[in-house]
Amino acid sequence: QKEVEQDPGPLSVPEGAIVSLNCTYSNSAFQYFMWYRQYSRKGPELLMYTYSSGNKEDGRFTAQVDKSSKYISLFIRDSQPSDSATYLCAMSARAGTALIFGKGTTLSVSS
């Protein structure tokens, strides 16, 4: 079993839709969770950072962590064509250590 699983998609939605992106993981020691957005041929950009379980909201983006289920989600409300990108989840067990990344989900939002 891989440490972090992420459905590669592609996921295609119309503009204005609510998007749900998910990752599952196997290591119960993970407690730091991140979501990155990567546009084609660019470096990943940090979107959301959460510690332990719970929700965090930033504008149209909400990150959710359920440690009991080893499941994290990123919700995008009112999706825009500019949200079309690959979304990577990442996590680690200890501060300052290397992150373990999912393979990324490719999202396409059509106008």
Residues that bind another protein (CB under 8 A): 8, 32, 34, 36, 41-46, 49, 88, 90, 92, 95-99, 101-104
Cβ 40 to another protein, closest distance in Å?
11
Cβ 111 to another protein, closest distance in Å?
27
Quick one: 25 or 36, whose CB is closer to another protein? 36
Quick one: 30 or 79, whose CB is closer to another protein? 30
Q: Is 82 helix (H, G, I), strand (E, B) or coil?
A: helix
Compute the C-alpha angle 72/40/91, nearest 5°: 25
Quick one: 17 or 101, whose CB is closer to another protein? 101
Cβ 108 to another protein, closest distance in Å?
17
- To which residue do tokens 């680690």 refer? 92
> 35 near 22, Cβ under 8 Å?
no
> 76 near 19, Cβ under 8 Å?
yes
Q: DSSP letters along 54-80, please?
A: EEEEETTEEEEEETTTTEEEEEESS--
Cβ 94 to another protein, closest distance in Å?
9
